[in-house]
Structure 1
């Protein structure tokens, strides 16, 4: 259950991101929809959700004029329901295949072929490319041709963590919509009012979400997620107490799944950011509020500059993985950079 968050979000069913929604609604109102948009922001912040809601609005037939996109999706017409259930024939999603490391050129060529065809039901062909930074160079250059010579009824919606992960020539041909992290207060309020979460549980989840509404919703709806997160974090917190051989054993187990490695690094990043705060006597500002005793203990055994350097090393490792550096090699370098904490 999601309540309306003001006139600018009527029908969009999205918590926060009012500025981005207002921009899209103004474009719809002026009938100046561009051929390509780039939604950027941290993982699980709501990029894909907003892109889908925009696609829904572009194809909605519930407005006063069926030839013109309304300003909000009605959520009740057949087109809206089909987009919601991922079976609208004019909405095409391009993602990396499970057995592939990248989105490959053949997929973009298929996109080009589909974009040249007439729409089947709606007024536009909409193509969503979540995690567009996963395109290899050949696929990215192929997409550039579509951006340079777009079909009149085609709209491309791309999402990325950071715009800089795409080719500058692609960025120059899309309208950017940077999305910001939400406040802890806004997330907590939404969890209590819209998801009917227990207030104490909402306090913890909102703090751990670190501004990511999507993460918070998943944590509320999936009880095992919080338990798994705590187990993973306890394992990561032990890494500085291990010797080099044990750290490399951990890397060997993790390196085979690059996506899982990224998720673990993001969790590790939050932990070391908390250690920076704890080592500077700011324990009350830490995100992992349920593990402050362990944070306080570890922070007493390292110097603040060591924690800060580790944060920089994790960020560097995440950047290396986004640039498709060998996962195992990147993680091994990180293990070497990690300070040692006596257990």
Structure 2
């Protein structure tokens, strides 16, 4: 089953060091038997894994897939016999039977039409200890043609013995400008929306694309903007009602805090520089300037620190309404 977008390396934005590692490995015929690709969901891990797999299987033998040979077309169609996507029936874990049946029991069967036989394991951090130990046995003595790619958001879940047998490659966030440019040029997103989505996604292109097309995010954005613009004049009880409403609509409170942090970062930035071009919320520069004139530097730093504290408290399972009440008190009257 085909998973993730399939393109060549040249069509994948950013992470040039990871792409170059794979391309040089192909050029020098130094392909490792196991790789770990780590990064947030949406950062291109699957796209890079698929590009690497398609290049290895390509009949032209270059460091980019030709996209037109029979092998490339099979990969694009999701039916190449030598590219296996490991699946799992339980959403929360990859069990030992999944690994044995889909990898261990088939890996000694030689490739059907290519030199390589490639296994891609998405959400690999969900492998149980037993599944990892089963995979380890295969990794210790793999056949020459085997390549296993583990895609994960958290490689700390892997056994040290798994880590030691894999080439570990970590994807890094893109620059906000790169994400914004992609949204405006390829998806025709208005510049001001693209700037907000890019900043909020923190270099994660997949997340930015999702936000740009999400009516839910637009609704959340408006609700949070109402809070930060009017926090000083609104009663604590009314502010907490806003948070309850946001929570009831199944919005992520982490995203609320992220938006608040971007807002106050803009207030502080404009107070320091008076440069509108540096703002994320350019349309709101008059209000941002007004807030900056009313608050001193120490007060703004205190609010930004209080947002970080609120995030830490929520991670420690402190009551949501208590956490937000303390945050709102600081936002209303920073000392």
Common fold: TM-score over 0.5? yes
Q: Judging changes above 3 Å, is the alpha-carbon distance between structure 1 residues 304 and 43 closer, same or farther for their aligned structure 2 residues?
A: farther
**Is the contact between residue 96 and residue 134 of structure 1 (CA under 8 Å) also seen in structure 2?**
no
SS at match of 2:11: coil
SS at match of 1:38: strand
**Is the contact between residue 204 and residue 290 of structure 1 (CA under 8 Å) also seen in structure 2?**
no
Corresponding residue to 2:53 among 37, 55, 79: 55
Displacement of 1:27:
0.5
Instruction: Let me know the Cα RMSD of the aligned residues.
Output: 4.1
The residue number in structure 1 matching 2:308 is 311
The residue number in structure 1 matching 2:115 is 123
Whole-Å Cα distance in 2 between the matches of residues 192 and 247 of structure 1? Answer: 32
SS at match of 2:169: strand
Q: Deviations over 1:140-193 (max 9, x none)?
A: 332222222323211111222343233322222111111111112222333344
Whole-Å Cα distance in 2 between the matches of residues 250 and 188 of structure 1? Answer: 27
Residue pairs, 1:69-88, within 5 angstroms? 69-88=61-80
Structure 1: 5+ residue runs without aligned partners?
1-8, 64-68, 255-260, 319-329
Structure with greater Cα Rg: 2
Q: Judging changes above 3 Å, is the alpha-carbon distance between structure 1 residues 180 and 136 closer, same or farther for their aligned structure 2 residues?
A: same
Match status 1:100 vs 2:115:
no
Residue pairs, 1:266-277, within 5 angstroms? 267-268=255-256, 270-274=258-262, 277=265
Corresponding residue to 1:29 among 23, 27, 50: 27
Q: Deviations over 1:32-89 (max 9, x none)?
A: 000111112223111111111111111111x1xxxxx421111112221222232222
**Is the contact between residue 59 and residue 123 of structure 1 (CA under 8 Å) also seen in structure 2?**
yes
Whole-Å Cα distance in 2 between the matches of residues 83 and 144 of structure 1? Answer: 27
**Is the contact between residue 184 and residue 210 of structure 1 (CA under 8 Å) also seen in structure 2?**
yes
Q: Deviations over 1:111-135 (max 9, x none)?
A: 2112222222322221112221122
Q: Judging changes above 3 Å, is the alpha-carbon distance between structure 1 residues 251 and 167 closer, same or farther for their aligned structure 2 residues?
A: farther
SS at match of 2:31: coil
Match status 1:229 vs 2:229:
no
Whole-Å Cα distance in 1 between the matches of residues 131 and 41 of structure 2? Answer: 22
Displacement of 1:92:
1.7
Structure 2: 5+ residue runs without aligned partners?
1-6
Number of corresponding residues: 305
Whole-Å Cα distance in 2 between the matches of residues 189 and 249 of structure 1? Answer: 34
Give the TM-score taking structure 2 as reference length. Answer: 0.72
Whole-Å Cα distance in 1 between the matches of residues 319 and 312 of structure 2? Answer: 13
Give the TM-score taking structure 1 as reference length. Answer: 0.71
SS at match of 1:270: helix
The residue number in structure 2 matching 1:327 is none
Whole-Å Cα distance in 2 between the matches of residues 175 and 280 of structure 1? Answer: 42
Corresponding residue to 2:100 among 105, 109, 116: 109
SS at match of 2:78: coil
Q: Judging changes above 3 Å, is the alpha-carbon distance between structure 1 residues 162 and 234 closer, same or farther for their aligned structure 2 residues?
A: farther
SS at match of 2:168: strand
Displacement of 1:212:
1.3
Whole-Å Cα distance in 2 between the matches of residues 185 and 75 of structure 1? Answer: 29
**Is the contact between residue 34 and residue 148 of structure 2 (CA under 8 Å) also seen in structure 1?**
yes
Whole-Å Cα distance in 1 between the matches of residues 86 and 282 of structure 2? Answer: 38
Whole-Å Cα distance in 2 between the matches of residues 31 and 205 of structure 1? Answer: 40
**Is the contact between residue 99 and residue 135 of structure 2 (CA under 8 Å) also seen in structure 1?**
yes
Q: Deviations over 1:246-300 (max 9, x none)?
A: 979987996xxxxxx9xx3653452353266367566876767788979x98x98
